[in-house]
Amino acid sequence: MKVTFDAQQLKQRLGQLGSVVARKSQEALYRNIRLFTDAEGVVNLQGIDIDTTMTLKVPSAKFDGLALNLLTEFNKLNEVLPNVTTKEVTIDSKSETEAILIAGKFRARLKAFPTAPFTDLSLVAGIADKPEIGGYVFGLPGLKEQIEMVDFAVPQAEGKHVVASALIFATATELSVVSTDGVRLVISTTPSDIGEFRFTVPKPALELLKKMEGGGKVTISDTEGAFYFETETELITYNKTHAEFPNYGGIVPKAGTYPTVVTFKDKAELVAAIGRQKPFCFSKDNPAVTFVFNGRDTVELVAVKEEVLATGNTYTDMTSDTITVEGVGDETRVKLDIKLLQPFLERGTFPMALHLNKPSNIADLHSNGGTPDKPTYRLLIMPMRAEGGATSTPMPPTE
Domains of the chain: 2-126 (3.10.150.10), 137-177+193-244 (3.10.150.10), 253-393 (3.10.150.10)
**pLDDT in the model for residue 389:** 42
Tell me which amino acid residue 216 is. G
Instruction: Give CA 8 to chain center in angstroms.
Output: 26
Averaged pLDDT, groups of 10, the chain, 399 residues long: 94 95 93 94 96 96 86 95 96 88 95 95 94 91 97 77 81 96 95 93 92 93 93 95 80 93 97 95 91 96 82 82 96 96 97 95 96 96 72 52
**pLDDT in the model for residue 307:** 77
CB atoms within 10 A of CB 274: 22
Q: In 3-state terms, what secondary structure has residue 127?
A: helix
- Radius of gyration of the chain from Cα atoms? 27
Check residue 279 and report its DSSP letter. G
**pLDDT in the model for residue 16:** 95
Residues 6+ apart with CB under 8 A from 192: 170, 173, 174, 175
CB atoms within 10 A of CB 40: 8
Residues 6+ apart with CB under 8 A from 8: 87
Intra-chain end-to-end CA distance of the chain, in Å: 80
Going by their DSSP bridges, the two strands 391-393 and 312-317 should be labelled as parallel
Reported as half-sphere exposure (CB side, CA atoms, 13 A), residue 333 has a value of 14
In angstroms, the CA 179 to CA 82 distance is: 37
**pLDDT in the model for residue 39:** 87
Q: Which helix (H) or strand (E) holds 255?
A: none
**pLDDT in the model for residue 163:** 57
**pLDDT in the model for residue 283:** 87
Query: How far is the CA of 277 from the CAs of 270, 283, 291, 305, 320, in angstroms?
Result: 11, 12, 11, 12, 8
* 53-84 exposure pattern, b = at least 16 Cβ within 10 A, e = fewer: bbbbbbeebebeeeebbbbbbbeebbeebeeb
Reported as half-sphere exposure (CB side, CA atoms, 13 A), residue 5 has a value of 25
In angstroms, the CA 34 to CA 265 distance is: 54
